[in-house]
A and B are shown apart, each in its own frame.
Chain A
Amino acid sequence: MWTVVACLVPPLVFSVFIFGIRTLIITAVSVVSCVAVEAITQKCLKRPVTVKDGSAVITGMLLAFVIPPGVPLWLPILGSVMAVYVGKHLLGGIGFNIFNPALLGRAFLMASFPVAMTSAWLPPLRDLAIFSYLGTPIDALTTATPLAVLKGQGMAAFTAQFGAAPNVYTDFFLGWRPGCIGETSGLLLVLGGLYLLYRGYITWHIPVTVLATIALLTRVAGGDPLLAVLAGGALLGAFFMANDYVTSPTSKMAQLIYGVGVGALTVLIRLKGGYPEGICYAILLMNPLSPVLDRWFKPKRFAPLQGGAKK
């Protein structure tokens, strides 16, 4: 668990450089509040307090990573109550939650505070003035995310605002774009994901199928597959959320199908749904299918019994 936390630190540090010190404060509030909610819940339910396992810290970081950098500080606190208390402990605690807690928290915030959650985007700082967003009223600064521009105004407006290929790919891969706190730096997210792969903590099955499906279906629909992967939360979702142990399937075949499902739903929501980004809901929609997929697609048995067990 702590290795995952370590892999999330570089994108967090990067977010401070592009969106200012606010992101660190929001993340800290989110983490502290998630850990506090977990400890209080477990105390009240008279269960052993397990905050030391690091899972609440990860939830706190991921919750902060999927909200805009310009939101008020009470927002992540509310989100953490939904994520950890409702999303995790009311369902039985770690291992028994059906939905990814951080994404459930985000979905709750999206539904309850749509204005803050869809408009508090900040333009990236190019001058390392990390304290500049602290004093100014946020409303005066907000901008739109690349996917929102692409969806709402089309490719021409997108190019006018963010630049043309191939420069825009480099910019987006490095993370110089508006977006949620932790989703922008493709480079650092991929590095973190590759490190987890190298250590054997995750396997390629879910991240690769999610990203490949998003790219492929976007291409089929006539969009830019590379932008589809780089411009939204696809990399964060594919490497750190879709493959969450508890809420994703365990057999390899089921993982491949699950990954394709997440990718397909993401593209469907982006192109046909009401939101510019769809991976959060795509993962939440696939989460409850995990046990079913596991039941349908079991690992291949080495030597299945013929005609009942030997007693």
Chain B
Amino acid sequence: MKDLLTFPKGGVHPPAAKHLTAGLAIEVMPVADELDIFVGQHIGAPCTPTVAKGDSVAEGDVIGTVTKGLGTPIHAPVAGKVKAIGAVAHPMRVTAPAITLQTDHEAPARVYTRKDWAGLDRAALLAAINQGGIVGVGGAGFPTHAKLSPPPEAKIDTLILNGAECEPYITADHRQMLEHAAEIVEGARIIMAVLGVSRCHIGIEANKPDAIAAMQKAVRENTVGAGTITVDVLKVKYPQGSEKQLIQSITGRKVPGFALPSAVGVVVHNVSTTKAIFDAVVLGKPLYEKVVTISGKGIRRPANLLVRVGTRLNEIVAYLGGVTPELAKIVFGGPMMGFAASSLEIPVTKTTSSVLFLAEDEIDSTPHSQCIRCGWCLAACPMGLEPKEIAIYVEAGREKDTEPFGVFECFECGCCAYVCPAKRPLVQFIRLAKLRARK
């Protein structure tokens, strides 16, 4: 058997736990009465609202734009009235400014029709992507049009679509690939046209054979655009979907230090982002809906939901029949990299891929003890760092001394904390180190 593509250093094999939702088709959730749309949904400057309290908006209208710096607009996910503009509970910050919309359930749903994009030049395609408010929906939230405008000195020759989805539980990308394979492939053609590259790899972990088959079929049937697209089967190993690890797995190239992938001639986009690019360019539909995996033993009915951006968690919980008595912890994002949610008032953002409702037996709440220097975290770290050393420095209050240990190279994948036999919260120690070392 041919060896599957993967990265050589570190990595772990957590239980996938994807069976809860992998077989469930994407389900459209009815629109809630009220939505909270954060003005900052991407890396860069937050949007300035272009609407005021009391204004009426139609579905898909721009409600906030970035006037200066890196950013992309936000759109009204529903037709309705602006009820308020103010602070709302946020998954990672405590609260953040948001626009609250009151839904007008009487307004007809907006219909989008297919447009031909073959005649559009690079600038027009980029403008369409920017106007669509597209960001990297896999989690980073980097504005897509900026990512597609690499510095002129970078010679981009390869596009990689990230369909690894290596985080346990999450099946949103998996379902997108199954149900929207043709759109994703056409989205890839659009990106290839923008970047002027003729090579595209779609990386998918081997545990999703149906998605691999669906994407292969879509690639064969696609006739729009030029260049070669292949589906690359990746070994199941966390964090296979991390950008640097994915690039190394597929191309063998190593992205140095703080350089962007463009430094080695590669641009990586998540498959769901690619679907959003298709929507924006071909249909003219902005990014205001999101496929979110709701899973774990703590929710009555796990599902892959298509929800409007801004839908509050408590609406989702109510729609899925409530929580179970076993619920112990709610996590925004995956179990490896996600953040514990403090409130059910928190709304879904453009970058929410999953919300997990985990039972006691799905988490590990054993109190942590001292480091026993077993070195398992060194073996697990895909970046070749020494998490135990960083943690010990943080415990001693010496965060500034952690920089020589490469604390800023850490992308918080959580492999170290996953393997730690002393149950030490190493990622939290590292986040603290980064926070305090910056001061």
**Which residues does A use to contact B, with CB under 8 Å?**
50, 53, 92-96, 203, 245-252, 255, 290, 294, 298-306, 309-311
In the complex, whether B254 has a CB less than 8 A from a CB of chain A is yes
**Interface contacts beyond A252-B379, A302-B9, A309-B403: sample of 12 additional A-B pairs, CB < 8 Å, sorted by A:** A53-B369, A94-B370, A94-B372, A95-B370, A95-B371, A245-B372, A247-B373, A251-B386, A299-B384, A299-B385, A305-B409, A306-B257
**Which residues does B use to contact A, with CB under 8 Å?**
9, 244, 254-259, 369-375, 378-379, 381-386, 388, 403, 406-409, 422, 437-438
Q: Which of A50, A250, A255, A299 contacts B369 (CB 8 A)?
A: A50
In the complex the two chains form, is B383's CB within 8 Å of A93's CB? no
Minimum C-beta distance from A1 to chain B (A): 9
In the complex the two chains form, is A300's CB within 8 Å of B370's CB? no
In the complex the two chains form, is A305's CB within 8 Å of B258's CB? yes
What are some 7 contacts across the A-B interface (CB < 8 A)?
Answer: A95-B369, A96-B370, A299-B386, A302-B382, A303-B257, A303-B259, A306-B256
Minimum C-beta distance from A94 to chain B (A): 6
Report whether over half of chain A's contact residues are helix, strand or loop; otherwise say mixed. Answer: loop
* Residues of A close to B379: CB separation below 8 A: 203, 252
Query: In chain A, what residue has the closest Cβ to B383?
Result: A302
* Residues of A close to B384: CB separation below 8 A: 299-302
Query: In chain A, what residue has the closest Cβ to B8?
Result: A302
* Residues of A close to B409: CB separation below 8 A: 301-305
In the complex the two chains form, is B256's CB within 8 Å of A303's CB? yes
* Residues of B close to A309: CB separation below 8 A: 403, 407-408, 437
Q: Tell me how many residue pairs across A and B have CB atoms closer than 8 Å.
A: 84
Query: In chain A, what residue has the closest Cβ to B388?
Result: A250
Bound complex: CA A294 to CA B377 (Å): 14
Query: In chain B, what residue has the closest Cβ to A298?
Result: B386
In the complex the two chains form, is A246's CB within 8 Å of B9's CB? no
Minimum C-beta distance from A295 to chain B (A): 9
Q: Which of B373, B375, B406, B437 contacts A301 (CB 8 A)?
A: B406
Report whether over half of chain B's contact residues are helix, strand or loop; otherwise say mixed. Answer: loop
Given A94-B369, A309-B403, A299 contacting B381 (CB threshold 8 A): yes
In the complex the two chains form, is A303's CB within 8 Å of B386's CB? no
Minimum C-beta distance from A269 to chain B (A): 26
* Residues of A close to B406: CB separation below 8 A: 301, 304-305
* Residues of A close to B370: CB separation below 8 A: 92-96
Bound complex: CA A255 to CA B379 (Å): 12
In the complex the two chains form, is B385's CB within 8 Å of A245's CB? no
Bound complex: CA A78 to CA B395 (Å): 35
Most A-side CB within 10 Å, residue of B369, B372, B382:
B372
* Residues of B close to A255: CB separation below 8 A: 375
* Residues of B close to A311: CB separation below 8 A: 438
Q: Which of A96, A250, A251 contacts B374 (CB 8 A)?
A: A250
In the complex the two chains form, is B372's CB within 8 Å of A95's CB? yes
Query: In chain B, what residue has the closest Cβ to A290?
Result: B373
In the complex the two chains form, is B373's CB within 8 Å of A246's CB? yes
* Residues of B close to A294: CB separation below 8 A: 386
Query: In chain B, what residue has the closest Cβ to A202?
Result: B374
In the complex the two chains form, is A304's CB within 8 Å of B386's CB? no
Bound complex: CA A247 to CA B408 (Å): 28
Q: Which of A95, A248, A251 contacts B378 (CB 8 A)?
A: A251
In the complex the two chains form, is A251's CB within 8 Å of B383's CB? no
Query: In chain B, what residue has the closest Cβ to A93?
Result: B370
* Residues of B close to A251: CB separation below 8 A: 375, 378, 386
* Residues of A close to B407: CB separation below 8 A: 309
Bound complex: CA A301 to CA B244 (Å): 13
Q: Which of A53, A96, A250, A304 contacts B375 (CB 8 A)?
A: A250
Given A303-B257, A303-B409, A306-B257, A245 contacting B374 (CB threshold 8 A): yes
Bound complex: CA A53 to CA B421 (Å): 11
* Residues of A close to B255: CB separation below 8 A: 303
Minimum C-beta distance from A72 to chain B (A): 33
* Residues of A close to B375: CB separation below 8 A: 245, 249-251, 255
* Residues of B close to A250: CB separation below 8 A: 373-375, 378, 386, 388
Query: In chain B, what residue has the closest Cβ to A203?
Result: B379
Query: In chain B, what residue has the closest Cβ to A291?
Result: B373
* Residues of B close to A248: CB separation below 8 A: 373
Bound complex: CA A298 to CA B404 (Å): 11
Minimum C-beta distance from B346 to chain A (A): 29
